[in-house]
Amino acid sequence: MKEVTGSEALLLSIINEGVDTIFGYPGGTIIPVYNSLYDYKNQLNHILMRHEQGATHAAQGYARVSGKVGVCFVTSGPGVTNTITGIGDAMIDSTPMVVVTGQVGTSALGTDAFQEIDVIGITSPITKWSYQIRRAEDIAWAVARAFYIARSGRPGPVVLDFTKNAQLETVNFEPKKCNFIRSYQPIPDINNDKIKLAAEAINNAKKPFALVGQGVTLGNAEKELKQFLEKADIPAAFTLLGESAMETDYPLNRGMLGMHGNVAPNMKTNECDVLIAIGMRFDDRVTGNTATYARQAKIIHFDIDPSEISKNVKADISVLGNVKDTLPLVTNLLNKNSHREWIASFDEYDKKEYEKVISKELETKTGDLKMGEVVRAISDAVDSSAVLVTDVGQNQMMAARYFKFRQNRSMITSGGLGTMGFGIPAAVGAKLAVPSRTVCLFCGDGGFQMTMQELGTIMQGEIGVKIILLDNEWLGMVRQLQELFCEKRYSATKMKNPDFCEIAKAYGIKSCRVTTREELAQGVKEMFADDKAYVLVANVEKSGLVLPMTPAGTDVTNILLE
């Protein structure tokens, strides 16, 4: 034990949790922490973001690629309120994150002091735990508890609101570890009867179908997933966040589920006799109208969170626990099987989608560049081995559809909250988490401009993110909805954009704009000529649609192809 300030106790506590990178933005009520941070430069790499929202998204990107807890430091008042979007995003997408917020001194709480705000009241609904540290002696306990809650069970964000007096007080510091909290059970007990029922249902299935969600990645269960699928010869499809849990070319991978997913998996959802949901939550973008969703199938739901069972879609059999533990138990009871005809029946839908949609997106040789062909050109250039980060909108869906994967933890996007502006800061965090890997960010002109100040973070940190800006001078996804469902009444979606290359130049980042296929090939070559940051601005068709599309709230089989 040694006597230290509360601020130093915080830093020692997070170092004890294995943290080496922090994303943040200093301010008045957290100055003591930053003052102590000055003495820990060799142990803690602080990344100065340009906005507190950017700090949270960077922490998310870092966490999603590394599997570690992302960490943010921000000040009180607007510093805290600027983090709310990122905290909410992390909550709905199950991303482990600890946000440390400065706060006025305990004696000033409730007085409407300068930059005082009720952090606990604001953040409690969108965190796993929010706690206000008012005494230095509580710091080691609170930090250990925060990291345990953030990373255990179904991961998520935690907020520690750190009063200024607690930062300045001294304490005899001793690091703590937390591995148990009374009344908190992060991983449910496994019910062996449910394991047997699940295996029996799968063994009796003629047309089994697996839906793979992010829970497989969060549980580090990619190997266990494949063993499960291969033993019973089960075709599988992925949710948006579950995309890189299987390689794109994995034989049993039949594509993406959901509103802009592939035709075959969506159609087969309503044809299978056993539907096996693995670490996914039956989001409305996957199910469409739940009244007609998979009514013919027996539904088996593997999940770590009991609250997800039968929340949106009623499960006939629920298998609670970490899928890394539960999948092998079921696999051990499965018969070696073959479903060759069932799997082959997906091909007819694949062929139809290719003819109606994919060929037009990837193989058109005339006219404006298409988003899909730009995505595929980048994917091919990196041999499908890069980390993909996306913003939100048409760029996101096109990237998810046409980027290929060979490695897990390679798909970083805002799923449940759909946060425009997520892309640039999340790519910063992803690149810092895995500096040896190529990180490719796709964003639209709308989302890019929401957080483009983080180009300053890229410049200062010399962070080699490859940014592909798909510029169509529209808020493309909203325009698409207006075209299809609002009689082409394009209200407030046309954008007049700045010269993005000049903006990149101002931040010392190389760039180019491409408008033709020949220029695209040259631009891609130039972008990957070195490991420095680059902005490739691609002028893509202004009226492009992301197809297929299942209109919101309709049957999952109600798929628009043109």
Neighbouring C-beta atoms of residue 141, cutoff 10 Å = 14
Helix (H, G, I), strand (E, B) or coil at 335: coil
Assigned token pair, 492: 């407030």
Active site annotation includes 164: yes
Assigned token pair, 109: 């709480």
Amino acid identity, position 470: L
User: Measured between alpha carbons, how far is 30 from 26 in angstroms, rounded to an integer?
Assistant: 6
Active site annotation includes 238: no
Neighbouring C-beta atoms of residue 552, cutoff 10 Å = 12
User: Measured between alpha carbons, how far is 422 from 391 in angstroms, rounded to an integer?
Assistant: 5
User: Measured between alpha carbons, how far is 111 from 134 in angstroms, rounded to an integer?
Assistant: 16
Q: 2, 3, 43, 114: which is the annotated catalytic residue?
A: 114
Active site annotation includes 405: no
Question: How do beta strands 2-5 and 170-173 pair?
Answer: antiparallel
Q: 164, 194, 324, 466: which is the annotated catalytic residue?
A: 164
- Tell me whether the omega of the peptide bond preceding residue 548 falls within 30 degrees of 0, making it cis: yes
With beta carbons less than 8 A apart as the criterion, state whether 380 and 433 touch. Answer: no
b/e for 95-117, b at 16 or more Cβ within 10 A? bbbbbbbbbbbeebeeeebebbb
Active site annotation includes 114: yes
Q: How far apart are the first and last CA of the chain?
A: 69
Assigned token pair, 234: 């089960």
Active site annotation includes 271: no
User: Measured between alpha carbons, how far is 289 from 556 in angstroms, rounded to an integer?
Assistant: 7
463 to 8, 11, 295, 439, 457: CA distances (angstroms)? 28, 25, 49, 10, 8
88 to 57, 151, 160, 333, 561: CA distances (angstroms)? 11, 16, 15, 39, 33
Amino acid identity, position 50: R
Q: 17, 23, 49, 52: which is the annotated catalytic residue?
A: 52
Q: 477, 482, 500, 549: which is the annotated catalytic residue?
A: 477
User: Measured between alpha carbons, how far is 464 from 530 in angstroms, rounded to an integer?
Assistant: 9
Burial (CB count <10 Å: 0-12, 13-18, 19+), residue 168 = middle
User: Measured between alpha carbons, how far is 546 from 562 in angstroms, rounded to an integer?
Assistant: 10
Q: Of the candidates 181, 189, 49, 68, which has an alpha carbon nearest to the alpha carbon of residue 128?
A: 181
Q: Of the candidates 472, 440, 463, 190, which has an alpha carbon nearest to the alpha carbon of residue 332?
A: 190
Residue positions annotated with a catalytic role? 52, 114-115, 164, 477
